[in-house]
Chains A and B, each alone.
Chain A
Amino acid sequence: MSVQKENIIDFIYAEAALIDERKFSEWLNLFAEDGLYWMPLEFGQQEERLTTSLMHEDKLMLTVRVERLHGERTFSQRPKSRCHHLLQRPEILHISKDTIKTRTAFHYTETRLDEQFFLVGWSEHTLRPADHSFHIVRKQVNLINPESAHRNIQLFV
């Protein structure tokens, strides 16, 4: 298939919408089997393996998270959290036959009970065309304040 820019942008918006709508299993299916979700702990952090990150999740760990969110005895999700992504139009950084890279600025809000917090930053997606859509090979979430003392971040930015 020929990769249309419009399809890429729609895909990024749709990915965020699945999280906001708590369709976590469908969201998980967007990830390639070798997919990775990374949220560095330090601003500008390059090292992934030999230093602490906030998240560095392969598909197994993402699956654990999604299962847990649905679990009966997941007490930190009683009541459940909700979230919302406000995205800037994704910028396409690289496009080739088998790899696409994008940059998307976000305002992310997560809420539970009386508490609500904001996370701000940008996501970098690496996508691989698959069937009539894409697979996420890598989603890197860069917060502008990763080192801050955060509260529980329970869903997915």
Chain B
Amino acid sequence: MTDTKPSITLRIANIHRVAPDIKAFTLKTLDKGKLPPHAPGSHIKIAISDKDTRSYSLLPLTGDDSAEDTCRIAVLLDQNSTGGSQFMHELSLRDNVTVSPPKNDFPLANTKNPSLLFAGGIGITPIYAMAKQLETADAEYTLHYAGRREGKLAFTDEINRLIGDKLHLHYDNQDSALNISDVLEAATKNTHIYVCGPKGMIVAVRRAAESIGFPMGQIHFELFNTPSTTKGDVPFEVEIADTGKVHTVPVGKTILDVLEEAGEELLYDCKHGDCGVCTTKVVSGEVDHRDVVLSDSEKAAGNLIQICVSRAKSKRLVLDLQPETQTKKITPKTNPKPTQKKNENNMKTIDLEWLVQPGGSEVHRDVFINQDVFEQEMKTVFRNTWVYVGHDSQAPNKGDFTTTTIGNQPVIMVRHSDNNIQVLLNRCPHKGVQLVNDPSGSTGQYFRCPYHAWSFKTDGSPLGIPFEKGYEETGFDTSCAKEGMCKVENVRNYRGFIFARLSPEGESFEDFFSGSLSSLDNMIDRSPEGRLEVVGAPLRYLHYCNWKMLVDNQTDTCHPMIAHESSAGTVKKLWEAAAGENTPKPMVVEIVLPFMSSYETFENMGIRTWDNGHGHTGVSWSIHSEYSDVEGYFGKMIKAYGKDRAQEILAETRHNTCYFPNMMIKGAIQTLRLFKPVAADKTIVESWIFRLVGAPDTFLERTAMYNRIINAPTSIVGHDDLEMYERAQEGLKVDANPWVNMQRHYHEDELGGERVHPGTSEVQMRNTYVSWAKYMGMGEDS
């Protein structure tokens, strides 16, 4: 039926999220086999089932990849698709796919004439390849790349690095929106025009170019659009002229689908109204044209139809199935559709724009109670962000390790023989057994699996397998097991604090945290030696609520005086009754009393936010600001930092700093809390304390006291909070109102960069959910 049947097996070597809905796939031949040569504009077809294929244009390669054995494509997830894009987005690293040899229906005419490239959305893929070739040839060209709004377009940075100001970005919702006529009118008449994008864009470029007078031969196009059911579609009948057979074409199926099911021999290729292969003669009936192949006059004449997309306006079409002359082009793909507000219980696809309302002002309950949402968080939020793993003082010597989780992924943090901290996924590559499961310990020079004694160096590389000759000539050499333990490549030791990003590609550590690192710095700088050490085991506290309720509560400054009236309020009452005017405050009173500060106090202390969901309360003052001085400490700080710097460090008494997604620190009292997700309604909170190395023990005493008074499962303050979270987890079951409100002090454009807000604003919660939606949209990376 088509000349390029899928016949080549390729393995997925890399998956990279390049825009919220778009993944790029790097495909390699098995055993370094050769791919047929392919030029810009080429596409491959990928088999998505026994019968069905989807075509994808080839992208330029990155890094050291060679076109001889590697190709790269990008796939937009169509929210309404149940076919190709969903199939592609569900693929994992190392999966195999069957593809056709590359074919080129959209080649560059030449590099001598000037070229004008238009790309709409995912239509960038062949255009990007063309731009690269034109750039290499030092040709005269410009690229106009249009999208609905900023942040949705893929490869903008890559292309910008490659071609600089030859790239013009256009966003429909901004002043930069693409004006096709203006661009074309400015071009010389010998310019070749290339356009790839949705149907509307191709039609608009063709019309404008033709009306300005560009020769048809200089207008090249390829369509990226999945025809889908259009509102108002109705069933109609198709009669085959020479047999008289009549078939009904229902809504949701094309003429091509129906006739093929009926056993008719048909010629077709793109199945998207773009290639012209299925052009069919119309004997009678009125056509509802939905292709870009036929010209306006051909459409008006009404005697040809593209049976892969077009439908009927009349009740019946009579078609002559004798093959027409073949024409033009190829290549499908999906078209982004505006996300629909889903009904309550239909969570088949997770609609982030619905779950998190603009600016994070309202958040749907599914964000907290839906287990599907939770599963996606594990694959997205916890893969694409830098998550705190542990502190390097927990593994002081080579071979020392701790075990923990990043999202739901069990990991080992271990000090390798080169003295660096490694983060390894905690499973034996053989049968999956966890190699160690103590909270902490020493493994010596290597990990040894307790099941079959496979052993691995402390960077995860394979060391030995007993009786290994049993694997000779079994294909073991190409297995995952052969690779050793899976290792997290992106690990950062920031002044002792170890963070890891599971996704192999993504934002850098600095870009992710930006100015928020100042809170960690302040905690560390409070040590005269600039160093912290973990002390003791963490408190571990089981909550039957969503992990984000705890995150939100860290910057909720309107709850302490209410929810903690029973605990902090009782301390205040007893202390005021017992103490004389000059009675020195015991440490515990000093810690608990500020919880009962007024709204006004909290309002004035301010909240600071940074990009990517980080923020802190206590900008100008905090509940930690008035702890009494500790003798001998300030002198040490002056000696270490000089007076001005020492004062500056100690004047910064931030309250809670939330690091997205699931960590909170209190610099002024050296505690760290991790909100570890277990299920949508189950969270384990770990609360750790640090020693300020070189500072008097009184600090550690205060820190330890704070931790047990405030954070323990035996803490009365903790009891107050847990009760609220768990009541909320239950209360959100109410169908009549599915929204969690976050609107206190909300206004548009409040986020972006570093900002300071009123202290009772719920802005940091909104900041959390705006970022949450961003990372949720990134999807699984590898």
Is the Cβ of A61 less than 8 Å from the Cβ of B588?
A: yes
Q: Known contacts being A64-B567, A68-B570, A149-B542, is A52 close to B537, with CB within 8 Å?
A: yes
Residue of B nearest to A148 (CB): B540
Decide if A76 is an interface residue (CB 8 Å cutoff): yes
Cβ of B540: which chain A residues have Cβ within 8 Å of it?
147-150
Which residues of chain A come closer than 8 Å to B570, judged between CB atoms?
64, 67-68, 71
B714 lies within 8 A of chain A by Cβ: yes
B716 lies within 8 A of chain A by Cβ: yes
B750 lies within 8 A of chain A by Cβ: no
Complexed CA–CA distance, A71 and B570 (Å)? 9
Q: B692-734: which have CB < 8 Å to A?
A: 697, 700-701, 704-705, 707-709, 712-714, 716, 718-720, 722-724
* B83-122 residues at the A interface, CB under 8 angstroms: none
Return B107 CB to nearest CB of chain A, in Å.
62
Do B566 and A73 touch (CB < 8 A)? yes
**Interface residues as binary, A43-87 with B (CB distance below 8 Å gives 1, 0 otherwise):** 000010111111110101101110110010111100000000000
Please measure, in the bound complex, the distance between the C-alpha atom of A149 and the C-alpha atom of B687, giving whole angstroms.
11
Shortest Cβ distance from A96 into chain B, in angstroms?
31
Partner of B713 from A49, A74, A151 at Cβ < 8 Å: A151
Cα(A61)–Cα(B700), bound, Å: 20
Q: Are B700 and A50 in contact (CB under 8 A)?
A: yes
Interface residue? A3 (CB, 8 A): no
Q: Which of B569, B588, B714, B724 contacts A54 (CB 8 A)?
A: B714
Shortest distance from the beta carbon of A145 to any chain B beta carbon, whole Å: 10
With A64-B567, A74-B566 known to touch, is A149 a contact of B541 (CB < 8 Å)? Answer: yes
Question: Across the interface, which residues of B come within 8 angstroms of A42, CB to CB?
Answer: 536-537
Chain B positions 541-596 with a Cβ under 8 Å from a chain A Cβ: 541-542, 563, 565-567, 569-571, 573-574, 586, 588
Please, which residue of chain A has its CB at the minimum distance from the CB of B700? A50
B727 to chain A minimum Cβ distance, whole angstroms, is: 8
Q: Taking the complex as formed, is A154 at the interface, i.e. its CB lies under 8 A from any CB of chain B?
A: yes
Shortest distance from the beta carbon of B161 to any chain A beta carbon, whole Å: 47
**Nearest CB on A from B630, distance (A):** 14
| Chain A: interface size category | 20 to 34
Residues of A within 8 A of B536 (CB): 41-42, 47, 51-52
CA distance A50 to B689 in the complex (A): 10
Of the listed residues B542, B571, B588, B704, the one surrounded by the most CB atoms of chain A closer than 10 A to its CB is: B704
B308-344 residues with Cβ-Cβ distance < 8 A to A are none
A51 to B707, CA, bound (A): 9
In the complex where A65-B716, A149-B541 touch, is A49 in contact with B704 (Cβ < 8 A)? Answer: yes
Q: Is B256 an interface residue (CB 8 A)?
A: no
Q: Are A76 and B720 in contact (CB under 8 A)?
A: yes
Contact call A150/B542, Cβ cutoff below 8 A: yes
B539 at the binding interface (Cβ < 8 Å):
yes
What distance in Å separates the Cβ of B731 from its nearest Cβ neighbour in chain A?
A: 13
Contact A150 B541 (CB under 8 A): yes
Q: Does B517 contact A (CB under 8 A)?
A: no
Complex: A41 Cα to B686 Cα, angstroms: 13
**Which chain B residues lie closer than 8 Å to A54 at the CB level?**
539, 708, 712-714
Residues in A whose Cβ lies below 8 Å from that of B684: 149
Bound: A76/B588 CA distance, A: 22
Judged by a CB distance under 8 angstroms, whether B535 is at the interface is yes
Q: Can you list 5 contacts pairing A with B, beta carbon distance less than 8 Å?
A: A67-B574, A71-B570, A76-B566, A152-B718, A152-B719
**Which residues on A are within 8 Å of B, measured CB to CB?**
39, 41-42, 47, 49-56, 58, 60-61, 63-65, 67-68, 71, 73-76, 147-154
List chain B positions with a Cβ less than 8 A from chain A.
439, 535-542, 563, 565-567, 569-571, 573-574, 586, 588, 684, 687, 689, 697, 700-701, 704-705, 707-709, 712-714, 716, 718-720, 722-724
Given contacts A51-B536, A67-B573, 19 further A-B contacts (CB under 8 A): A41-B537, A47-B536, A49-B697, A50-B700, A52-B539, A52-B687, A52-B707, A54-B712, A64-B567, A64-B574, A68-B566, A73-B566, A75-B720, A75-B724, A76-B719, A152-B718, A152-B722, A153-B713, A153-B714
